[in-house]
Amino acid sequence: MATLMAGAMSVVLYSAHLSFPKEIQGMREWSFGLLLLVAGAMFYNLGDSTYIPKMCANSVLIWALGFMLIGTEKFYELRPSWMLFHGIWLVSMLTIGYWLIFVPNFSYRVAAFSYLASIFYLRLIYLIWKHGEPHFSTRFFRALMIVQALVVLTRGVLASINGEAHINLLAIGPFQSIYLATGHFMILLMTVGFMTVCTRRLQTILERRSTLDPLTEVLNRRGFADIYAKEHALMRREGTFMTMLNIDIDYFKKINDCHGHAVGDRVLIDVAQVIAKALRASDHLARFGGEEFVVLLPATGLDRALHITERIQTALRAPRPDVPSYTVSVGVACQTSAEESLDGILVRADKALYCAKERGRDRYEIAPDAAFTGTGVPARHQDRARA
């Protein structure tokens, strides 16, 4: 049963390895480890009176557990512990070979294998606890490893103190029943546990791809709409306000025509990086397609927003060796009423942007607001908007 389950789950994991995004690593190693479990069972079933099949069986079983560890480390984007892998394999071959060939003792062989295998399980538990995200899939995977480690350690302890009576799986006893039942199901369950964390990672990647712009890796329209909904709800609850900046690269078509689209892409990436550095941790940046970017400044009034706008424009004017010089125009719209929708504030910021374009570019304009003076701009800001 365990062999059949290991073979079937190996196929499942390798199929997932071929289908999942390349960011999700480790499934190939887990698949290979399960195939080694199948090979180990085949060596055990040879029933040869010589020690070669038994040595081969123990060797490939240690390899199987080692590849599961390597696969888990790759999944968490850690350096594989090949030194630990080969070290445990070497020690296991020396100790098991000694108690098999020179001083035959079944109990000591079982104890040596159990303790060495437990090192792999304990390392796996540590990795999952240290690097796993706080999610049910991680807790489920960790719990399965803890159960398996306890069972294997218990078998090692029984082999050390009670001899062969409680560890001979061909005999009848309570531990034998528990160990065999665990062995039947834990291979399947541990693989399912690993698949759950892989599936969780896949869900996170797909959600990230659906909300981020692939070129600049800032929010796209969908991601920005989700963020705005949360900030708008907070604004309504707290009675605060927020400001939106609509930023557009000046003469971007000329950059593409003169330097090529590859340079144009580098400019877009540069804009996103420079703006992101100029913002606070609580602010949000999105690309709305083409050369248009939108910034949401939660709990930010017009004075603070204009200061951030000037900081962004100053940073973007600074020459950088890997991109041609460029400037941006900005439309600034402050939302003081929770009744205004996302479309409403976007329209106001967009109109202010076009006004900045018409008045010469490389500047910002402030969108009119009902709470402002008749000109649509507070008197203290009118001169700055024209500057």
Q: Is the pLDDT of residue 155 over 90?
A: no
* pLDDT number for residue 378: 41
Q: Which helix (H) or strand (E) holds 293?
A: strand 292-298
* pLDDT number for residue 203: 94
Mean pLDDT taken over the chain: 89
- Please give the average per-residue pLDDT across 129-143, as a whole number: 95
Q: Is the pLDDT of residue 372 over 50?
A: no
* pLDDT number for residue 355: 96
* pLDDT number for residue 1: 74
In this structure, how many other beta carbons lie within 10 angstroms of the beta carbon of residue 221? 14
Q: Which two tokens stand for residue 145?
A: 């490893």
- pLDDT tens digits, 238-260: 989 999 999 999 999 999 999 99
* pLDDT number for residue 167: 60
- pLDDT tens digits, 34-58: 999 999 988 888 866 678 888 999 9
The single residue listed with the structure tokens 């041609």 is 324
* pLDDT number for residue 176: 64
Q: Is the pLDDT of residue 143 over 70?
A: yes
- Please give the average per-residue pLDDT across 365-379, as a whole number: 56
* pLDDT number for residue 166: 57
- pLDDT tens digits, 54-79: 899 999 999 999 999 999 999 999 99
Distance CA 351, CA 216 (A): 25
* pLDDT number for residue 183: 66
Distance CA 369, CA 244 (A): 13
Cβ contacts of 138-145, under 8 Å, gap ≥ 24: 138/197, 138/200, 140/193, 140/196, 141/190, 141/193, 141/194, 141/196, 141/197, 144/186, 144/189, 144/190, 144/193, 145/121, 145/190, 145/193
* pLDDT number for residue 376: 38
Percent of the chain with pLDDT over 90: 74
Handedness of CA 19, 20, 25, 29 (dihedral sign): negative
- Full DSSP string of 121-159: HHHHHHHHHHHS-SSHHHHHHHHHHHHHHHHHHHHHHHH
* pLDDT number for residue 170: 57
For the chain, give the number of residues. 387
Q: Is the pLDDT of residue 24 over 90?
A: yes
Residue scoring higher pLDDT (151 or 84):
84
Cβ contacts of 29-32, under 8 Å, gap ≥ 24: 29/67, 29/68, 29/70, 29/71, 29/74, 30/67, 30/68, 30/71, 30/72, 30/191, 30/194, 32/67
Q: Which of 304, 185, 300 is nearest to 238 (CA)?
A: 300
Q: Is the pLDDT of residue 383 over 60?
A: no
* pLDDT number for residue 131: 97
DSSP 8-state symbol, 294? E
* pLDDT number for residue 171: 59
- Please give the average per-residue pLDDT across 210-238, as a whole number: 94
* pLDDT number for residue 124: 97
Domains detected in the chain: 2-211 (1.20.1070), 221-386 (3.30.70.270)
* pLDDT number for residue 199: 96
